[in-house]
Amino acid sequence: EDKVVQSPLSLVVHEGDTVTLNCSYEVTNFRSLLWYKQEKKAPTFLFMLTSSGIEKKSGRLSSILDKKELFSILNITATQTGDSAIYLCAVGGGGSQGNLIFGKGTKLSVKP
């Protein structure tokens, strides 16, 4: 069965800390791995990764994929209270061509 596992499930840090969120997967016909940030409403797209070892970066956020070990990490440096959210990892693949398989998410709380 295809699955995506995120860790930790929740995390509390203080402003200025650096955090690393983990996503491991076992998905047939892997196409891509995506990271989303979900605050109170819709998940918003952060990154899409398709190739191993190539870091994607946007401001204080960065992510990298390891297709050999089947995992990805999302790093956030110099965290701010506005980074508080649930971070979702999703993998495109599986038996259905259009499908994204989501992990349960990591809830990040950044304290002032």
Partner 1 sequence: DAGVIQSPRHEVTEMGQEVTLRCKPISGHDYLFWYRQTMMRGLELLIYFNNNVPIDDSGMPEDRFSAKMPNASFSTLKIQPSEPRDSAVYFCASSLTFRNQPQHFGDGTRLSIL
Question: At its nearest, how many Å lie between partner 1 and the CB of residue 78?
Answer: 25
The one-letter amino acid at 101: I
Of 18, 44, 52, 77, the one binding partner 1 (CB under 8 A) is 44
Report 80-109 residues binding partner 1 (CB under 8 A): 88, 90, 92, 96-105
* Closest by Cα among 60, 57, 72, 90 to 21: 72
Judged by CB under 8 A, does residue 10 bind partner 1? no
Judged by CB under 8 A, does residue 58 bind partner 1? no
* Closest by Cα among 38, 42, 36 to 91: 36
Rounded CA gap, 82 and 111, in Å?
Answer: 10
DSSP 22: E
Judged by CB under 8 A, does residue 27 bind partner 1? no
Largest separation between any pair of C-alpha atoms in the chain? 44
Which residues lie near partner 1 (CB under 8 A)?
A: 31-32, 34, 36, 41-45, 48, 50, 88, 90, 92, 96-105
